[in-house]
Amino acid sequence: MEQRFVRFFFALWPDDRVQKQLSDAVERSRLEPLCGGRKTKTENIHLTLVFVGEVNPGKLEALCQIADRVKGSGARAFDLVVERMGYWKHNKIVYAAIAKIPQELTDLASALQDALSTAGFSLEQRAYKPHITLMRNASCRTLPELAEPIAWRVREWMLVKSEQTSSGSNYVPVGRWSLDS
Ligand code: 2AM
């Protein structure tokens, strides 16, 4: 029988409060009427660490073992602060930008990328640009300022399964790893 492939990615998932703050910032800035496009559903707001892509579902165990090893190597907790929104014209994404990218974030993403590559997963070679997608298919000339910075204490990361449905992406967490404080 034909094997269906499944899309996975490793991500940081904000708690409900931070997701709501980010979602409210989009509403308050009136981004939808200003830029058009489609707002990310509040519960889907996240920051991708590594996009694994479409793989055989049997690879789930290998992905969890990779995350176990990265956790075992002592990945550290960190704080993120969103201070502004940004816009990428090439992919029409409005995103929340991290003010100062902590070394721990870069280290965690690199450790996962390296472990995945070593295990034979083929990853995109694009440079890692941490961002939180807030709107898709947007056309913005200018972006409003954020009323105030949004702080996010990152204490864990997740492995997420992405399902495409008629009403957009549905993200299902399939693994969770804590960061050392
Ligand atoms: P994006 O929000 O900038 O599109 C699930 O799709 C997550 O993986 C999203 O955060 C998405 O980033 C990220 N991602 C990275 N590379 C991707 C790709 N080639 N296709 C789909 N999603 C990708």
Ligand 1 environment, Cβ below 6 A? 9, 48, 51, 93, 133, 162
Look at the block and give the residue holding tokens 């996009």: 51
Q: What is the CA radius of gyration of the chain?
A: 17
Beta bridge partners of residue 176, listed in sequence order: 158
Task: Compute, in angstroms, the gap from residue 52 CA to the centroid of ligand 1.
Answer: 9
Q: What is the pLDDT along the chain (181 residues), one digit of tens a residue?
A: 556 899 999 999 999 999 999 999 999 999 999 999 999 999 999 999 999 999 999 999 999 999 999 999 989 999 999 999 999 999 999 999 999 999 999 999 999 999 999 999 999 888 999 999 999 999 999 998 999 999 999 999 999 999 999 888 999 999 999 999 8
Provide the Cα torsion 146, 148, 149, 155; round to 10°.
-110
Task: Compute, in angstroms, the gap from residue 162 CA to the centroid of ligand 1.
Answer: 10
ipTM: 0.94
Check if the beta carbon of residue 11 is closer than 8 Å to that of residue 157: yes
